[in-house]
Amino acid sequence: MRGLLGLVGSLLLAIPLAVAAPPNVYKTKQRIDAPRGWVKHSTPPPDQPISLRIALPQQNFHALEKHLFEVSDPDHNRYGQHLSKEEVEALVAPHKDSLDAVDEWLSGFGFEEKDLIRSPAKDWITITVPVSTAEKLLDTTYHVWKHTSGDMLVRTTSYSLPSNLHTHIELVQPTTMFGRVKPEKSTIFGLDEVTDVLHTASEALPLALGSGIIVDPSCNSTITVSCLLQLYNAVGYVPSNDPRNSIGITGYLEQFANIQDLQTFYAEQRPDALNSTFTFHSVAGGINSQNLSEAGAEANLDVQFAFGISHPIPATFYSTAGRPSQFTPDTRTPTNTNEPYTDWLDFILKQENPPLTISTSYGDDEQTVPEDFAKRICAGLAQLGARGVSVIFSSGDYGVGDGNSDPATQECFTNDGRNITRFIPTFPASCPFVTSVGGTVNIQEVAVSRFFSGGGFSDYFKRPVYQEQAVCKYLKSLPKGTYKGLFNAEGRGFPDVAAQSDRYRIWYRGRPVHIGGTSASSPAFAGLVALLNDARFKAKKSSLGFLNPLLYSRGVSGFNDITVGNNHGCGTTGFNASQGWDPVTGLGTPNFGKLKGIVT
In the annotated binding site, the residues are 561-562, 580, 582
**Helices and strands (H and E) in the chain: how many:** 14, 29
Residue 302's SS3 state is: helix
How many Cβ atoms are within 10 Å of 200's Cβ, its own excluded? 14
Are 296 and 251 contacting, i.e. CB atoms less than 8 angstroms apart? Answer: yes
- Burial environment of residue 545 by CB neighbours within 10 A (0 to 12, 13 to 18, 19 or more): buried
Give the integer Cα–Cα distance in Å for 434 and 437.
10
At 93, the amino acid letter reads: A
Kindly state the DSSP code that residue 570 receives in the 8-state scheme: T
User: Using CA atoms, how far apart are residues 355 and 351, in angstroms rounded to an integer?
Assistant: 9
Residue set of the binding site for Ca(2+): 561-562, 580, 582
Buried b (16+ CB within 10 A) or exposed e, 416-447: eeeeebbbbbbbbbbbbbbbbbbbbbbbebbb
- Are 95 and 61 in contact by the 8 Å Cβ rule? The answer is no
How crowded is residue 412: how many other Cβ atoms within 10 Å of its Cβ?
A: 22
Rounded to 5 degrees, φ, ψ at 152 are -130, 145
Dihedral, 292, 346, 336, 46 alpha carbons, nearest 10: 160
Catalytic choice (319, 453, 519, 543): 519
Q: Any idea how long the chain is?
A: 600
Alpha carbon distance 345, 53 (integer Å): 13
Those residues with Cβ within 8 angstroms of residue 165's Cβ, 6 or more apart along the chain or in another chain? 24, 101, 102, 105
Give the list of residues 6+ apart from residue 589 with CB closer than 8 angstroms, or none. Answer: 231, 232, 440, 445, 497, 498, 499, 500, 559, 560, 562
Catalytic residue among 115, 298, 339, 502: 298
| Nearest-angstrom CA–CA distance, 284 and 388 | 24
In whole angstroms, give the CA distance from residue 500 to residue 448: 8
Annotated active-site residue 298? The verdict is: yes
Which residues 6+ apart lie within 8 Å of 14 measured at CB? Answer: none
Encode 128-147 in three state secondary structure. EEEHHHHHHHHCCCCEEEEE
- Between CA 58 and CA 334 the distance in angstroms is 27
Residue 388 to residues 214, 246, 358, 382, 436, Cα–Cα distance (Å): 33, 11, 11, 10, 17
592, 532 in Cβ contact below 8 A? Answer: yes
Question: Which of 73, 216, 302, 402 does the annotation list as catalytic?
Answer: 302
Burial classification of residue 185, based on how many CB atoms lie within 10 Å of its CB (0-12 exposed, 13-18 middle, 19 or more buried): buried
Position 547, amino acid: L
List residues with catalytic annotation: 298, 302, 519
